[in-house]
Amino acid sequence: MVFGEFREILFFREVKEMIEFETELRARLKPDEAEKAWAETFEYIKEKIPDREAFLKHLEDYAQNGKPVWYAGRNPCCDDLSDRQLVKAYANLFRGIEREKMLTNASWATHINYYAEKVLECGKMTLEMTVGAGLGTAAVASKMSDSDFLTCVDIDFKCAKNADGILSHFGKRGVGIATSLWNLPFDDETFSTVCSHFGIDECREIDTVLSETVRVLKPGGRIVFASNESGYRRTKHYFDMYGIDRTEAQNLLKQVRHYADKQQIDDIMSKHGLTEIDYKSFGERYVAVYKKTHK
Ligand SMILES: C[S@@+](CC[C@H](N)C(=O)[O-])C[C@H]1O[C@@H](n2cnc3c(N)ncnc32)[C@H](O)[C@@H]1O
């Protein structure tokens, strides 16, 4: 099962219990009563982690002992797919039209055309990390030329199948692969571009994700990220529960190797010898492009 990366950080030692809780919750309340499901999730967290001291201890434990492995049990072989998930994955193959509508109606997504243009500027072999609902995939696929090939990965099999559906809807070449970003199943220097649309914001173990990204990128290739300026935006409700403010939260996010802000990405990129060649702000969001000049 795939659940939120921050909950996986907090409960990496109690993941089986968390899965049982979420499975029951999803069956009972989702998709119709999503708000109630969130309220019950936060009650559960507060019951297990009652105060600020316990919360900080959980984070410190993860910072020291957490690893880039899928604690929730998913692995690249997709061996935990239920029949229901397979049915959903098959249905995703036909949802390209919905993604096209989402793009057309996405007035909030002012960055999306810019992102797709930057992704396609630099070459024919592109890797997209984290398909998710497929908004980024659809933006790129809709603008691809016939000689482009888009490889799309996500740890969630259903999301990987979203990519297949979107690509076939737009009549473009590519493939969706269910795998983890921590151990990409590709040779070194395979891709001319690696991109992610709000993916690095939601993945644990940012350092490992970025070193894999750089490994599979060809010299001269580019990395294009659309991200939130701050990782606090998505995780605020957890920190609020324990009276932790934004500055402290951002430091804690960095300590547990979760996406915190752009500066953190810049620092890791420059450690790998990559330079930023383009940056455009879209309010709370941005699109940034990095270039790999070395072998
Ligand atoms: C917010 S979604 C990405 C949004 C999507 N790109 C879009 O534009 O609609 C985040 C996705 O990251 C995936 N994910 C999280 N951690 C991952 C990992 N370590 N490896 C691969 N995929 C991961 C999740 O399964 C989820 O589908």
Peptide bond into 31 cis (omega under 30): yes
Ligand 1 mean position, distance from CA 250 (Å): 21
By the 8 A CB rule, do 72 and 155 touch? no
Nearest of 53, 64, 69, 71 to residue 11 by alpha carbon: 71
By the 8 A CB rule, do 190 and 223 touch? no
Structure confidence at residue 80 (pLDDT): 64
Share of the chain above pLDDT 90, in %: 71
Give pLDDT tens digits for 201-247: 999 999 999 999 999 999 999 999 999 999 999 999 999 999 999 99
For ligand 1, atom 4, the nearest C-alpha belongs to 132
Give the side-chain half-sphere CA count within 13 A for 3.
24
Residue 156 sits at φ, ψ, to 5 deg, of -90, 120
Structure confidence at residue 73 (pLDDT): 63
38 is written with which tokens? 């969130």
Q: List CB contacts of 101: < 8 A, sequence separation 6 or more.
A: none
Compute the residue count for the chain: 295
Ligand 1 mean position, distance from CA 130 (Å): 4
Owner of token pair 């499975």: 23
This prediction has a pTM of 0.92
**pLDDT (mean) for 72-90:** 67
> What domains appear along the chain, each with residue ranges and CATH number?
5-73 (no CATH), 94-291 (3.40.50.150)
By the 8 A CB rule, do 173 and 111 touch? no
Ligand 1 mean position, distance from CA 159 (Å): 8
Owner of token pair 């970025």: 210
Ligand 1 neighbours by CB, cut-off 6 Å: 2, 5, 130-136, 154-156, 159, 180-182, 197-199, 202-203
Structure confidence at residue 20 (pLDDT): 87
Structure confidence at residue 79 (pLDDT): 52
User: What average pLDDT does the chain have?
Assistant: 91
By the 8 A CB rule, do 128 and 140 touch? yes
For ligand 1, atom 26, the nearest C-alpha belongs to 132
Local confidence band at 77 (pLDDT 50, 70, 90 cut-offs): very low
Alpha carbon of residue 116 to chain centroid: 17
Local confidence band at 76 (pLDDT 50, 70, 90 cut-offs): very low
**pLDDT (mean) for 73-99:** 72
**pLDDT (mean) for 188-196:** 97
Ligand 1 mean position, distance from CA 26 (Å): 19
Strands 191-197 and 217-228: parallel
Ligand 1 mean position, distance from CA 122 (Å): 23
Residue of 2, 154, 181 with the most ligand 1 atoms within 8 Å of its CB, for mutation:
154
Give pLDDT tens digits for 89-105: 888 888 788 888 887 77
Give pLDDT tens digits for 108-137: 678 999 999 999 998 789 999 999 999 999
By the 8 A CB rule, do 142 and 116 touch? yes
